[in-house]
């Protein structure tokens, strides 16, 4: 794993990272600030999982009440937007769906970037051995989510469209059993549900990947009222995630095992993703461009009830992260 540590050192030099400012404080805080956090149990939540498991939130003076969700979409919808959480971690597509729905949300940082998270798993015994075989088949996914967007892009890459399959929408946790029972022929999802389905199907499983097809971001989402009233909570939260970033790069083997154990999957299931993704607290121009692309897709495919694309530059709040480290923000305003 020496290449990981080398990459970590390069990141320090490139972004002017200060280990003194981002290491967990040994002094502690006189005041512990309460925050309710909606955490999706998926690999893209690696930094928040690490921060929780290593105690970085507590070391930064946060008393966190965690609520686990099977996906970022549900963390955002049933956690933050339902008033049950103050902060949610979510991928880009649910953020766009919420914005199109007129929700008053802000993204204060992204924590994950990868182009090889999502998969399509299908039943070989249902006549599927290549992407073209998905035509006319019963394919399920989670509506208005990253895996929905990935499915659309994957089909298009293989000269198909969403109209060429018998599409249905299901909760993430229901997909493996639906595939195993034969109720569907394939589904678009990510870990740990792909591994769960593969275990159920055995040799009947065929998995399709498309590295580089979709550069997916996951971010830290809050509503405007909480952001305005609790700037210190947001500052400490970002600092804890920066602590987790240090650990992820300096001790990759431990970090992989920690995340895998927390998700209930094997380390080998997480390790390949680890080598091809970026765990970094940042706000990049490419994130803004992706939100705009997803917005156009959702409006064109009627994947959302919205009708007008909002100004995503206003939804991304760079202030909290800029005050910690301006080198981590590259948005052009």
Inform me whether the pLDDT recorded for 52 exceeds 90: yes
Q: What's the confidence (pLDDT) of residue 266?
A: 87
Inform me whether the pLDDT recorded for 16 exceeds 70: no
Helix (H, G, I), strand (E, B) or coil at 60: coil
Name the token pair of 324: 């910690």
Q: In the chain, what percentage of residues exceed pLDDT 70?
A: 89
Q: What's the confidence (pLDDT) of residue 305?
A: 66
Inform me whether the pLDDT recorded for 9 exceeds 60: no
pLDDT tens track for 266-321:
888 788 767 777 899 999 999 999 999 999 999 988 766 666 788 999 999 999 99
Model confidence band, residue 6 (pLDDT cutoffs 50, 70, 90): very low
Domain boundaries, the chain: 2-114+216-328, 119-208
Inform me whether the pLDDT recorded for 50 exceeds 70: yes
Q: For 58-79, what is the mean pLDDT? A: 95
Considering the domain 119-208, what is its CATH architecture?
3-Layer(aba) Sandwich (3.40)
Tell me the HSE value of 267 on the side-chain side, using a 13 A CA sphere. Answer: 7
Q: What's the confidence (pLDDT) of residue 11?
A: 42
pLDDT tens track for 185-208:
999 998 889 999 999 999 999 999
Collect contacts of 15-24 with beta carbons under 8 A, ≥24 apart. 15/325, 15/327, 15/328, 16/325, 16/327, 17/325, 18/325, 19/246, 21/324, 21/325, 22/239, 22/242, 22/243, 22/245, 22/246, 23/243, 23/246, 24/55, 24/56, 24/59, 24/60, 24/240, 24/243
Q: What's the confidence (pLDDT) of residue 17?
A: 39
* pTM recorded for the entire structure: 0.82
pLDDT tens track for 220-273:
999 999 999 999 999 999 999 999 999 999 999 999 999 999 988 888 878 876
Inform me whether the pLDDT recorded for 20 exceeds 80: no
Topology match between the domains 2-114+216-328 and 119-208:
yes
Q: Which CATH superfamily is domain 2-114+216-328 in?
A: Periplasmic binding protein-like II (3.40.190.10)
Model confidence band, residue 117 (pLDDT cutoffs 50, 70, 90): confident
Are 148 and 79 a contacting pair, CB within 8 Å? no
Q: Among all chains, which residue has been given the structure tokens 């987790």?
A: 244
Inform me whether the pLDDT recorded for 15 exceeds 70: no
Q: In the chain, what percentage of residues exceed pLDDT 90?
A: 74
Beta bridge partners of 112: 218
State the chain's mean pLDDT as an integer: 89
Q: What's the confidence (pLDDT) of residue 187?
A: 98
């Amino acid at each position: 794993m020496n290449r990981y540590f080398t990459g970590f050192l390069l990141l320090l030099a490139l972004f002017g990272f200060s280990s003194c400012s981002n290491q967990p404080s040994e002094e502690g805080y006189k005041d512990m600030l309460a925050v309710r956090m909606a955490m999706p149990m998926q690999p893209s939540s690696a930094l928040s999982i690490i921060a929780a498991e290593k105690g970085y939130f507590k070391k930064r003076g946060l008393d966190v009440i965690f609520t686990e969700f099977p996906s970022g979409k549900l963390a955002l919808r049933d956690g933050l937007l339902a008033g049950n959480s103050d902060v949610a971690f979510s991928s880009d597509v649910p953020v766009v769906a919420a914005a199109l729905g007129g929700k008053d949300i802000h993204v204060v940082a992204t924590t994950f970037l990868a182009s090889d998270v999502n998969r399509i798993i299908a039943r070989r015994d249902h006549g599927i051995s290549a992407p073209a075989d998905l035509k006319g088949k019963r394919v399920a996914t989670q509506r208005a989510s990253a895996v929905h967007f990935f499915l659309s892009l994957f089909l298009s890459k293989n000269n198909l469209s969403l109209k060429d399959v018998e599409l249905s929408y299901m909760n993430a946790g229901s997909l493996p059993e639906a595939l195993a029972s034969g109720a569907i022929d394939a589904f678009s999802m990510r870990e740990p549900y792909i591994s769960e389905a593969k275990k159920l199907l055995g040799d009947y499983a065929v998995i399709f990947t498309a590295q580089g097809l979709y550069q997916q971001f996951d971010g830290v989402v809050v509503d405007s009222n909480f952001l305005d009233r609790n700037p210190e909570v947001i500052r400490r939260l970002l600092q804890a995630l920066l602590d987790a970033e240090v650990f992820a790069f300096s001790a990759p083997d431990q970090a992989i095992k920690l995340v895998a154990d927390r998700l209930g999957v094997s380390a080998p299931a997480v390790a390949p993703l680890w080598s091809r993704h970026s765990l970094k607290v940042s706000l990049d121009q490419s994130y803004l461009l992706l939100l705009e692309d997803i917005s156009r897709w959702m409006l064109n495919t009627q994947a959302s009830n919205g009708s007008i694309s909002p100004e995503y530059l206003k939804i991304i709040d760079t202030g909290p992260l800029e005050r910690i480290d301006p080198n981590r923000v590259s948005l052009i305003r």
